[in-house]
Amino acid sequence: MSASPPAWTIAAQSPSRLGTVDVVTRFLKEQRCYITELNSFDDRLVERFFIRAEFRPEDDDFDVDAFSDAFASRADEFDMTFELTPPEARMPVVIMVSKADHCLNDLLYRYRIGQLPMDIRAVVSNHPDLEPLVAWHDLPYYHFPITPHTKAEQEAQVWRVIEETGAELVILARYMQVLSSDMCHRLAGRAINIHHSLLPGFKGAKPYHQAYEKGVKLVGATAHYINDDLDEGPIITQRVEAVSHADYPEDLVAKGRDVERLTLARAVSHHIERRVFLHAQRTVVFDR
């Protein structure tokens, strides 16, 4: 989440081969594009290469179509797939929430001040509680109640909103419902969830109160892509904060909320900036 001047971004991956860095950097030089940030990683265990470059064209008559076609031809020699993102691109997003407002409030604030380059198309919830907050931001709010008997119908309503808004990313900002296997597959690689990370692991009601009883010394949060295994999708970001015997349950809850919102915001930022590569059940993340 940087305030640096906007730049074009190219994110690519390929099998590990001699010249994979050169194919990107040499091409950018030939196209008179100045590289402002460059990250690469070669996974020697599976022989897979990842690279991300931010650049600015030196010439005013930059032709994106000609650039993309020329690089596609060059990349094809390396079996390289790539994504080219223009400056100031805003990713269309749908946010899903339940009753907790801390993550939603944080995302809306960062959206409002332009820190997260996203276009929030809708907020969806299984409760009506947060509609006033969303209405204050002049955004659509959809309340779709859910019961064990109406789960399929409710998810069909949610999916309709995602499709009709053209959302490329779905953010589960403390959405306290387990998505079905079908919904997880539909949203694979484009839905981010946030949950607490406590050791030992505490599940069920009031996890921070359970943590207090055990005398934990760290509270944390994990942001990850969703999959069929609850809270076990590919991890994007994690964050921890120290606590002590002087922190009561309400203190742990407050610190946990702060860690959750910061962790989620960074994961969303990384995804939008094309800093995350899904790599089997793992991720390659080029942090700033």
Which residue in 231, 247, 258, 287 is the catalytic one?
231
Residue 13 makes CB contacts below 8 A (sequence gap 6+) with 48, 49, 50, 51, 80, 81, 82, 277
Sign of torsion, CA 9 269 136 150?
positive
Count of Cβ atoms closer than 10 Å to residue 176 Cβ: 13
Strands 118-125 and 48-57, by their bridges, are unpaired
CA dihedral 166, 169, 171, 175 (to 10 degrees): 60
Contact 97/104 with Cβ under 8 angstroms? yes
Clarify whether 231 is annotated catalytic: yes
Closest CA to 260 of 46, 105, 130, 128: 105
Between the CA of residue 236 and those of 5, 114, 165, 274, what are the distances in Å? 24, 22, 25, 12
Catalytic sites, residue numbers: 231
